[in-house]
Amino acid sequence: MKRLYAPLAALILISATFYSCVVSSVAQHMQSIKPLPYPKTQKTDHLDDYHGTKVADPYRWLEDDTSKATASWVEEQNKVTFGYLNQIPYRKQIQERLEKIYNYPKYSAPSRKGEYVFFFKNDGLQNQSVLYVQKGMKGTPEVLFDPNALSKDGTVKLGANSVSNDTKYWAYGLSSGGSDWQEYYVMELATKKKLTDRVRWVKVSGLSWYKDGFFYSRYPAPDDTTKQLSAKNENHQVFYHKIGTDQSADELVFEDKENKQRFHIASVTDDERFLILSISDRGKGKDGNAFYVRDLSKGEKSFKPVVTGFDDDFTVLDNVGDTLLVQTNYKAPNWRVVSIDPNNPDEKNWKSVLPEKPQTLNFAGTAGGKLFANYSKDVTHRVYVYDLTGKLENEVKFPTIGTVSGFGGEINDKTVFYTLTSFTYPPTIFEYDIKTKKSTVFRKTEVAFKPDEYETKQVFYPSKDGTKIPMFITHKKGLKLDGKNPTLLYGYGGFNISLFPAFSPLRIAFLEQGGVYVQANLRGGGEYGEKWHEAGMKLKKQNVFDDFIGAAEWLIKEKYTSPQKLAIQGGSNGGLLVGAAMTQRPELFKVALPAVGVMDMLRFQKFTIGWNWVADYGSSDNPEEFKYLLGYSPLQNLKEGVNYPATMVTTADHDDRVVPAHSFKFAATLQEKHKGDNPVLIRVATKSGHGASNTKKALEETADVYSFIFQNLGVVPQYPAKKN
């Protein structure tokens, strides 16, 4: 709910003769490519008055996502962008390379419910992963649900889904074209028969079963459905849907008409005893949540408050009899777990289960009668097993440092599954035996990639104020520190989101060409707990940009790269990061890749659920925060006559989280004010959202991004990839 939301190795063999011709052709063509003339974008005299300060917004008309003028502008911009990309002679080869690298089976870890076992699998290039079901671990897998069959272009995605506690029903959500809106449906699990149930206008919702129905959250149907991708979302409601009934008969469980910019999410404990209502008030700048409880076993019809403030986070993990296990950062910036009796919720009655540690508690959960806790130390994971009172039993040992997910399960499970990954360690699924405390490999990813040819190191560099910032650097072994290496610097820095080491098959296509991939763990994230997050929020947001700029300066100083060989990339809040960095220090970067970014910091709260980002950013409605936002907002800080980096803005027509108007206005202003030969383009994907809506679109966009990077960093990709 808090997140703005942020998801390749066999070689193409060609003859030596053909290869030499390609290199010669590319070398001759490298300097000749010029962007086509930019479309002339209409300007208006629109002015806004913010607390006595007049701010021009000449491209305000681009905010109208349904107008013919906006559609025409997008079409003309895409003609320019794809006209430029089509001139890059190795673009098709990059796409073919990405497809070949990505074409291997991908599995999720199994999950169990009753006698059933579920897992996702993608054969390689399927647009959507397929959900399989089998009876028991040794049963024969059968397709339960294949989203690829729902649309010709594969842009219908499976979202929230859950099996009823009696395993009779499976409920699932579908979204189209990358939108965050979902519709919920129900299937009879044993027969795979789709029922008549249809639940619409679901967004920011759980799907939590109770008896013969489920709780979910939705917004009222919009007055104008043509504006469903941009209109502000307000009055989040909780309903209970009974299987076999029309949505119009759903029971309204909770709403708050006096506070329309709040999220309300309901969930039921595994034993179906407690209904938990989590409420956040992020539109008013509050970063935490309150929570209330109903004891369903007693037939309670109203919620009892347990925590009423909105300054800290509280997540109910499970109940142990009459008490609730709760993970919180209240009086614990690195998080802890406490036991709370909902009938005696006063803080003095809380009992400590997992006290706060120097390491950050990323997540905790119960399975097999145990409490599993995932901690991070310098941005890598450790997992410990406790009994339900908090007594340490053991640490789960891993074959390499990296990122771990999983360990969920039912109370009677004897084993649990988890997935381990790192930059050069493809995701590997392990089965952990709770009794013997041992892990065994359950499924290893078979990707044609030689991790021994690459290395990752972690460094700590000083930011502007002296704060040490961790950063991972991955590249081929034997790298020469001569300042000539094409380098891609990635960051996010916000919303308490941590960037942990993870394997990306798509990244291989960059690394194998001698590229250096760098991931900086900026303030604003959650890598070191809430204090690290707060150091990059609101009136301290500049720290995030300073951290990112500091990463670039360190890489240049240490001769990993140079300003002419450095590209920066980020998406969503990371798109804001790239926009701020390139406007503050345009000479430091050669290529800038802001994706689905929040580029107009004065108006983000006006669209869809943008108001919930006020908790991290502040708001232009506040005079003090307005001045600060105006000082770094990428759109308002583009200056006339500056030679900005080669820039390709990416967005999508169905992004209803960070509406594309942010990118539209930024690109139009950048094209107007930029001076120099660097291309300034915007790539607008269709039937896609805040992330690629299918595999095909993801591969196409990545190919275009890499082509743009290589072209503007002066890199001639070699196929097959050059050996050290």
pTM of the complete model: 0.94
pLDDT digits (tens, 9 = 90+) for 172-191: 999 999 999 999 999 999 99
Contacts of 339 (CB under 8 A, 6+ apart): 320, 323, 324, 325, 326, 350, 351, 352, 353
- Which pLDDT does position 720 carry in this prediction? 76
Confidence of residue 87 (pLDDT cuts 50, 70, 90): very high
Catalytic, out of 572, 633, 688, 693: 572
Confidence of residue 272 (pLDDT cuts 50, 70, 90): very high
- Give the rounded distance of the alpha carbon of 298 from its chain centre: 39
From residue 354, how far is each of 202, 335, 378, 391 by CA, in Å? 35, 9, 20, 8
Confidence of residue 20 (pLDDT cuts 50, 70, 90): very low
Mean pLDDT value across residues 46-51: 98
- Which pLDDT does position 722 carry in this prediction? 62
Containing 384, the helix (H) or strand (E) segment is strand 380-386
- Which pLDDT does position 721 carry in this prediction? 72
Mean pLDDT value across residues 118-146: 98
Q: What percent of the chain stands above pLDDT 90?
A: 93
Catalytic, out of 108, 674, 690, 707: 690
Q: Please name which of 320, 202, 200, 328 lies closest in space to residue 270, comparing C-alpha atoms.
A: 320
Mean pLDDT value across residues 681-687: 97
Residue 459 has pLDDT above 90, yes or no: yes
CA separation for the pair 10, 155 (Å, rounded): 27
- Which pLDDT does position 326 carry in this prediction? 98
- Which pLDDT does position 6 carry in this prediction? 30
What is the β-pairing status of strands 566-571 and 591-595?
A: parallel
Please give the backbone phi and psi of residue 509, each rounded to the nearest 5 degrees, phi first: -65, -25
Domains in the chain: boundaries: 16-100+449-713, 357-446
Residue 670 has pLDDT above 70, yes or no: yes
CA separation for the pair 127, 75 (Å, rounded): 25
Mean pLDDT value across residues 671-676: 96
pLDDT digits (tens, 9 = 90+) for 346-394: 999 999 999 999 999 999 999 999 999 999 999 999 999 999 999 999 9
DSSP state at residue 618:
-
pLDDT digits (tens, 9 = 90+) for 180-231: 999 999 999 999 999 999 999 999 999 999 999 999 999 999 988 888 999 9
Q: Is 674 a catalytic residue?
A: no
CA separation for the pair 122, 696 (Å, rounded): 13
Q: Average per-residue pLDDT in the chain?
A: 94
Mean pLDDT value across residues 503-525: 97
- Which pLDDT does position 15 carry in this prediction? 29
- Which pLDDT does position 723 carry in this prediction? 61
| Fold classified for 16-100+449-713 | Rossmann fold (3.40.50)
Residue 8 has pLDDT above 60, yes or no: no
pLDDT digits (tens, 9 = 90+) for 631-661: 999 999 999 999 999 999 999 999 999 999 9
**Tokens read off for 320:** 């142990």
